[in-house]
Amino acid sequence: MSTTATPDSRRRSRRSPTRSSGATAWSALPGKWWKGWGQGRRVVLPDSGTERLVIRLLERRDLEQVRHLHNHDETLLRLTDVWPVSETQQEAWFESVSSSRTARRYVGRRRADDALVGVFRLDRLDPWNRNAYVGADVVPAMRRQGYAEEMFAYFLGHLFDHCGLHRLALVTLTSNTAALALYRKLGFVEEGRERQAIFRDGGFQDLVLMGLLAEEWRGRAG
């Protein structure tokens, strides 16, 4: 199971509070909004997880396994960027994402044996407009065991209910039928397409944009 991280070139501009008016603007947000955030207004998720998975922030000791997951043919076929990454590139990327205020990476490891199950992506985090992009990559040998749904349910619940996000979005390819089925099951709604934007397996296919609102998630979860 892989979902596509949106490239920087696809970013949409959003208005944010200016530096000079930041203190006043941020204090106007609802009190509940802050309880899931730490210093520097960065998302803070508990180091807990699910019944089967330990979920925590990505650490340097995870990098080689995560790089192999990214470089696996089945993963690359589901991403917009099909280039494998080297150890040097992975290290530079890790330094960047570790210090980012708009992106986070988490790993899910099986409680029984600490085996890597997958990576959850949080990108384009916009605290002022209370939205973000999400995605996940699951180790091929761990697929079709319910882990992707388990990871998504954990993160969606926490991001909406603990961190106060209002909208989560993702993009994926039309050929990624398993992912599309899961997202619809979780309540994501198709909001648009970039027609024939991706070339895979000898042909062009659409890039599908899907979104989920907090009230939609709570309605299904309740």
Residue 16 pLDDT > 60: no
In a domain, 178, yes or no: yes
Q: Is residue 50 part of a domain?
A: yes
- Write the CATH number for 145: 3.40.630.30
pLDDT score recorded for residue 37: 52
Q: Which two tokens stand for residue 110?
A: 């099986």
Domain that holds residue 76: 42-221
Distance CA 163, CA 153 (A): 14
Query: Within a domain: residue 148?
Result: yes
For residues 3 and 175, what is the distance between their CA atoms, to the nearest angstrom? 11
pLDDT of residue 24: 38
Is this prediction's pTM over 0.85?
A: no
8 Å CB contact between 184 and 211: no
Cβ-contact 208, 174 below 8 angstroms? yes
What value does the mean pLDDT of the chain take?
84
In a domain, 208, yes or no: yes
Q: Does the pLDDT of residue 92 top 70, yes or no?
A: yes
Please give the Cα distance from 184 to 176 (Å, whole number). 13
Mean local confidence (pLDDT), 152-172 = 95
Query: Count of domains in the chain?
Result: 1
pLDDT score, position 182: 97
The helix-helix angle for 147-161 and 177-186 (nearest 10°) equals: 40
**Confidence band for 79, pLDDT divided at 50, 70 and 90:** confident
Residue 129 lies in a domain: yes
Amino acid identity of 42?
R
Question: Is residue 198 assigned to a domain?
Answer: yes
pLDDT tens, position by position, 136-148: 999 999 999 999 9
Determine contact, residues 178/135, Cβ cutoff 8 Å: no
Residue 11: pLDDT over 50: no
pLDDT at site 27 = 39
Q: Which DSSP state fits 63?
A: H
Give the tens place of pLDDT for each residue, 167-215. 999 999 999 999 999 999 999 999 999 999 999 889 999 999 999 999 9
User: Within 13 Å, how many C-alpha atoms sit on residue 17's CB side?
Assistant: 15
Give the CA radius of gyration of the chain.
Answer: 17
The answer to whether position 18 is within a domain reads no
pLDDT for res 25: 39
**Who has greater pLDDT, 204 or 47?**
204
- Answer yes or no: is 13 within a domain: no
What three-state secondary structure class fits 33?
A: helix
